[in-house]
Structure 1
Amino acid sequence: MKILFTLLILGQIMMAATIEYIETNGLKIPVIFESDRRLPLATMQFIFTNSGSITDTTKAGLAKMSARIMNEGTKKLGSSAFAEALESKAIHISSSTGTETFVMEVGGLKETFDVALNYLETLLKDPNFTPEALEKVKTTTIGSLSRKENDFDYVASNELKSILFNGSVLANPSSGTIESVKSINLEDIQKFIKSNIVSSKLIIAIGGDVEIKDVKEKIIKIIQTLPKGKSLDVQNYRVVDKREDSILKKETQQAYLYFGAPFNMSVEDKDYYKARVATFILGAGGFGSRMMEEIRVKRGLAYSAYARANVSKSSSYFNGYLQTKLESLEEAKKTVKEVVAEFVKNGVTKEELAHTKKFLLGSEPLRVETMSQRLNRTFMEFYKGQKLGHSARELKKIENLKLKDLNAFIKEHKEILDMSFAIVTK
C-alpha cells in the first residue's frame, strides 16, 4: 500500500511528456511538454531544426559563431548588463548548436519564468549585432582554435571527418578554422539568424513546474517576433567510396589513431536497436568490449579504445579511436582491422549478448534522471518521426533479441570493414 501511495503521489507531480501544438502565423508548431512539480523550476528550449553546422556551406563555423553572438546579450544593454539582469533574477538564457539544430534555452524559477520569457523575447528582437560583440567572439574563438592545434584528438577527429565526407559540409570542423572565423562578418551572422531562427523550423520543449496553458500566450508572442522563413528537409550525406589513410606529422609523444567507415542505416531503420547492441559489444561498452579486451587487456597497446555507430538524419557512419605508443602504431592499426573483421565474420557470443542486455536495461533509469534528459529523449523521438515511447519499446526489443538474429544483422554490415584512418604521429 505504501508503494502504491508513493506511485500515486509521484504521478501527480510528474507526468510523461506529451506533444501539443501552438497555431500561429499559419503554422502548427509542435510543443513537447512535461510537467514536474517536485521543484519550483521551469525550462524551455526553442529548437530550430536544419539550422546547425550542417548549414555552414559558405563559411565553416558560422552557426557556432552565430550562437556565440546570441550569447552576448542585447544591443541596448550589451553583454555584461544583460548577463547581470538575468543573474539578479536567477535566469539562464543560452544559445548553442549541434550538427542539425540551433537551440535557445531559457530557464529559472517558476515565479520568474514569465520574466525569463520576456528577456528571451527582448533578445530575439534586439540581438547584440555590433562590431564590438563580433570582435570579442572572434577573439575568443580564434584563441580556442589556436589551442586546439595541439589537441591531437581534435586534430585527428577533424581529419577523419574530412576523409569520410570529403567535398561536403560535414568535412569541415563545426567550430570552423582560424581562417574561416576571421572571414565571418556581421552581415554573415545576420543572414544566418534571419534564415535559420525562423518559426517554420521551430520545435519547442517545455518542462518543469509550469502548465503549458499558463504560458501559451507569452510563447505565441515570442514566436510572432520571428520571421516565418522556410523549412527544408535535412540533406543526407553519405561516406565517400574512396578509402584513405591520412598521416599528420606533429611533435607528439604518442600516436593518435582515428578510424571510420560507412554504416548503411537510417534513423527510420527498424533494426537500429540491433546496431545499438552490436556496437556496444564491439567498442562502445568500455571495459569488456571487444576493442578494449583485444587492444588493451591482451596486447597492452592502448589505455582505452572505442568504436561506435553514428546515425542521424544527415549522416550514418561507423567510427572509433585510440592512442598508442609511437612504436606500436602499425600493430594497433592492424589489430583494429582484425578485431572488426572477426566481429563481422563470427558475430558475438551468448555471454556477450546477455551482459549487454543486462547493462542496457539496468542502466536505463540513469538516462532519464533529469528533466533535460527526458525532454531531449522525447524531442529525438518526435524529430526522427517515431511515436512517443519509442525508446521504451526499443528496450523491449533488446530484451527479446535472439543471438542468431543479432549475428545475422552483424554479418549484413560488411561495409564497416572498409575503414579509413586519420593518424597523428611524430
Structure 2
Amino acid sequence: MQNKKSSIGWRNENKRPSLSEVFSSVSVPKQKGIWKKLFAFTGPGLLIAVGYMDPGNWATDISGGAQFGYMLLSVIFISNFFAIILQYLALKLGIVCERDLAQACRDHYSPLISFLLWILCEIAIAACDLAEIIGSVLALKLLFGIPMTWGVLITVIDVFIILFFQYKGFRYIESVVAALIFTILICFSFEIISSKPEIFLILKGIIPNPEIIKNSHSFYISIGILGATVMPHNLYLHSSIIQTRDYPRTIEGKKMAIKYATIDSTLSLSLAFFINASILIISAATFHKSGYTEIADIMDAHKLLIPILGSSLSGIFFALALLASGQNSTLTGTLAGQIVMEGFLNIKFKPWIRRLITRLIAIVPAMIASIVYGEKGTAKLLIISQIILSIQLSFAIVPLVNFTGDSKKMGPFVNGAILKISSWLITIIIIFLNLFLIYNTLLGRR
C-alpha cells in the first residue's frame, strides 16, 4: 500500500501493488553480504533479457550476418547499450515510486489517454505473442516434423504450463527462464565452435564502421536491429517484477535495491548481447563466408547450416535454441499482459483467462497464414509483428523517460542532468529510426 508521501506528483494514489499475488514475496537478506543480496535480486534481469533474444530478432541478425559479415556487430552492441539505459530507468521507476509503468501512466494521464495507451499496449503484446507462436511453430516443425497448423494449436498448451509455474511461486518462473536461457546459450556456443569464426573480424566488427551508413541496404538492416531492439512490454514488465523483492521501502533500502537490480539487469542484458551477436556471427561465418548472402529466413538458415557445417547436430541445436527462445518469450509476454491490464484498468482477471485471450488473438492470424501461405506467410507475419511493436515503442519510452526525470515523482532519485540528456537522446534516436523503418517497410523499400 502506498503512503501519502510516495503519492506526491501523481494524480491518483496507487492503492494496489503491481502483481499483488507475488509483491514483495522474494526475501532479501537483512545482513550485509554482497553475494547473498545480489543472488536475491538475480532473476528479473533474466526475464527482461528474454525479450532481446526472441524469434522476432533472429531474422535481422541472420540477414545482417549473411549479407555483411561481422560489420553489423557494432549495431547490436549500441542497441544493447540503449537497452541497458532504458531498462535501468524502468527498474528505478518501479523501486522508487512502487508503481509499474502502466500504473504510473494511469496515475498521471487522464482516463481517456490511459485507455488509449492500454489499447495500443494490448495490440503490441498480441503482436509479440504472434512472434513467439511463429518461433515455436517453426521449431516444432524443424525438430519433430509437426505440420505448422498443428504446431499453432499445440502452442495453446503452454498457457497451462506457464500458469502451473506461476502458481508455484515467482522464483520458479525465474528458474524456468534461466534454464531455457542456459539451453539457448549451450546451443549457440556449439554453433559458434562449429562455425569457426575469425576472432579478428569479430573484434573489428564491434567497432562502428562508416560503411554501414554509406551502404543503403546495410543502413536499413541496422535500423531494423537498432529500432526494434527495445521491446515495449519489457519496460512495463521490469518496472513491475522488480517489486517482487522484499527490500526495505525506505530511501536507503531503495538505493540498495536499485544498486543490485542494476547489476542484475546489466549482466543479463550482456548475456542477451552475446546470444544476439552469436546469431549474427554464426550467419557471417557460415552463409556470408560461403557466398549465401541472400539468406534472411529462419527456415532457409536452418536448411543450409547442416550441409555447410557438416553436422546434423548443428540443425538440432539451432531448432532447440529457437524453441527455447519462443517459450521463454511466451512466459514473459504472459506476465507483461497481466501487468498492463491490471495497471491501466485497475482490474484483475484470473491469469488463465488473461493468457487464453491473448493467445487466441495471436493464434487466428498465425493459423490463417500457416494454412494459406505456409512458411513464407508466417515469415511475413513475423515482420508485421515487429512493425506493430515499433509503433508502440514510443508510447512506452516517452512516459518512462518523462516520469524518471520528474523530481516531484522521483524525489532524490530523479535522473541527473547527464542521464536526462542521454535518455532523451536515445528516445529520439529510437523513435526516429522506428518511424523510418516503418515508412520504408510499408513502401516496400529495402
TM range (shorter): under 0.3
Query: With CA pairs under 8 Å and 6+ residues apart, which has the higher RCO, 1 or 2?
Result: 2
If the length of structure 1 is used for normalisation, what is the TM-score? Answer: 0.24
Larger proportion of strand: 1
User: Rg: which structure is higher?
Assistant: 1
More helix by share: 2
